[in-house]
Amino acid sequence: MNILHQTRRRGRGAVSNESGRFETHRREIVDDGWDSAADLPPLPVEVMREAAKSIIARNRSPDLPFDRSINPYRGCEHGCIYCFARPSHAYLGLSPGLDFETKLTVKTNATALLRKTLDKPGYVPAPIVLGANTDPYQPIERDHGITREIVEVLLAYRHPFSITTKSALVTRDLDLLGEAAALGIVRVAMSVTTLDHRLSRAMEPRCSAPHARFRAIQTLAEAGVPVMAMTAPMIPALNDHEMEALLQTARDAGATSAAYVALRLPREIASLFREWLEEHYPNRAGRILGHIRTMHGGKDYDAEWGKRMTGIGPYAQLMAMRFKTATARLGLRNLRMEQRCDLFRPPPRPGDQLDLFTSASVGR
């Protein structure tokens, strides 16, 4: 295992940086006997810039309620150990481990590409999800603002969209989101995983603290922005016992709907999560992993449509029953958050010819 010294990965989620599955050379950390790794500084965040070829990603997954998404960034500084997006970093020749949290890419031409796509004749609008892969409001958004630019474009076109995030930074854009909410074209899904600050700090080290997320839900709700509470992921014997409390707290803050996802461990995430458990919760690691396997047919993960999000077996059924009972008691809707698609229209550009109605009005 390519495990780094604790001083180097301070404030990070993963404990190792194993080479990606497509790399031709493998890196290995070797102890030279002088404890020299302890003298190295913490891993810095490296930001790369990319001129993307396209900006709207399409999917045909039958168990997802959307078919298109936008991800302004590759990699995510939040460092959530369970993040299902980690394996995608291997396609960049990087590690799904610590590289995923520290080697980030900014899509600098995202807004220009988005306008070009939305301006195409025959484009048919449908809700776009921001944050389907990595968090659009991760810390580097403060410096680069790509997500805000995208939201500005979507609002200008009156294009329906939703946001999935774990960051209270989303409230920075309340001016835009409030306007979009008044049109009925936006929804925000706030991911809440635990009320335990210690667990949150270990499991998702650079996310907003739990109380800050619930405060963000309240701020959004008070501004009229519909908010869904995403209890995701629910991890057996680690945080799933908090499901009801999370839903109650989110409802009290102003969330009107809810959803949950059971932990998924595709590809490299299985070994990364196992390493993390052995370091942070060694006494519970075996029990947690055992429950996860019972929910996936004896495997770390089963990618079959319709099962990958919830799992199978008695533990998965109990989790689903608890969620259904809690949301019914709390009055939380367990429905897709609908947005209006009928308002879409490209905004006028400087120099565009005025339409007949506008021209006649101006001439009076």
List, in order of start, the domains of the chain with CATH numbers: 45-346 (3.80.30.30)
Query: Going by DSSP bridges, is the β-strand pair 46-50/103-107 parallel, antiparallel, or unpaired?
Result: parallel
Model pTM greater than 0.85?
A: yes
Q: Is residue 233 reached through a cis peptide bond, with omega within 30 degrees of 0 on the bond before it?
A: yes
- Amino acid present at 73: Y
How does pLDDT run along the chain (364 residues), one tens digit per residue?
Answer: 577 677 778 789 888 887 767 676 666 655 555 555 556 677 889 999 999 999 998 888 877 777 899 999 999 999 999 998 999 998 888 999 999 999 999 999 999 999 999 999 999 999 999 988 899 999 999 999 999 999 999 999 999 999 999 999 999 999 999 999 999 999 999 999 999 999 999 999 999 999 999 999 999 999 999 999 999 999 999 999 999 999 999 999 999 999 999 999 988 999 999 999 999 999 999 999 999 999 998 888 887 887 887 889 999 999 999 999 999 999 999 866 678 999 999 988 766 655 544 444 444 4
Other beta carbons within 10 Å of 296: 22
- DSSP 8-state symbol, 34: S
- Spell out where the chain has E strands: 46-50, 57-58, 68-70, 73-74, 103-107, 128-130, 161-165, 186-191, 227-234, 257-262
| Euclidean distance between CA atoms 290 and 296, whole angstroms | 10
